[in-house]
Amino acid sequence: MKKLHLAALALLIITAFSCKKAQKEEEKTEAKASTATYSLVQDSTDVRFTAYKTTDKVPVGGTFQQVEVTYTAGETPKETIDGLEFTIPVSSLFTNDPTNIRDPKIIEFFFNKMVETQNITGKFSLKDAKNCSVTLSMNGVSAELPMEYEITEDNHVNFTGVMDLKQWDALNALASLNEACKILHTGADGVSKTWDEVAINASVWLTQQ
């Protein structure tokens, strides 16, 4: 009988300990949720790029009109941005060309010459108060894109960086685009050139809950 009582007591202690542990974990989760005060303003993400043509490096700007974002709300703007992931459908490319010729040409002769052409994906990693990087996947290649960022007092986050298309094995696609736009990319020196660097500017608004 004594052994039976001891076994019941042990079971009671184990059950109580398990319940207490589960309760603590639940409290931690609730506390974390209650302190996660920053989130992204819906549809506030803006991604713009500047490519260059001719030896004079004439800029050609554009944007992506769709950006799908996944993130975890944090206690600070930095916590909210760190680890943020995004997917950009290539089909949302827009360069504000009044002839409506440029965008389909870029998609056909640049992006469609790559593998995994539908989306560009990436994940942010903050290094310090100024520098971050994006693990950017394009053309079946994942490479680090160094960027700088700034968080304004009104929680507007701005990112700047420069892509070197060689890192994503995109030079063949770039040559294809240059051939398709040979005349338009020819400068006063008679040389047709499309640069392999692309400036990136992105921004997003955060809101405090």
pLDDT digits (tens, 9 = 90+) for 136-148: 999 999 999 999 9
Residue 56 has, within 13 A of its CA and on its CB side, a CA count of 10
- Which residue's entry shows tokens 């400068």? 187
pLDDT for residue 121 is more than 60: yes
pLDDT of amino acid 66: 97
Q: Show me where the domains of the chain are located.
A: 1-35, 39-208
Q: Which CATH superfamily is domain 39-208 in?
A: Lipid/polyisoprenoid-binding, YceI-like (2.40.128.110)
The residue-averaged pLDDT of 4-25 equals 52
- Give which of 52, 75, 58 is closest to 177, Cα–Cα: 52
The tokens describing 66, both together, are 């769709």
Q: 32 falls in which pLDDT band (50, 70, 90)?
A: very low
d(CA 139, CA 202): 21
